[in-house]
Amino acid sequence: MSHHEYTEHDHIVGNSTNPVHVHVPASRLVYGYAVPSTDQTRGIQQDLYALPNGSHYVMVTQWSAWQNEPDRFYLVATQPQDAQPGGRFYELFYAAGLSRPLTLTEGIELSEPF
pLDDT in tens, 79-98: 999 999 989 999 999 999 99
Report pTM: 0.84
What value does the mean pLDDT of the chain take?
89
Look at residue 95 and tell me if it is in a domain.
Answer: no
For residue 105, tell me if it sits in a domain: no
Sign of the alpha-carbon dihedral angle for 9, 15, 19, 20 = negative
- Residue 82 has a pLDDT of 96
Residue 54, pLDDT above cutoff 90: yes
Q: Residue 113 domain-assigned?
A: no
User: What does the pLDDT read at residue 2?
Assistant: 45
**Does the pLDDT at position 49 exceed 70?**
yes
pLDDT at 35 over 90: no
Residue 55, pLDDT above cutoff 90: yes
Question: Is residue 100 included in any domain, yes or no?
Answer: no
Q: When comparing pLDDT for 40 and 53, which is higher?
A: 53
In a domain, 107, yes or no: no
Asked if pLDDT for residue 1 goes beyond 60, the answer is no
Domain of residue 18, residue span: 7-90
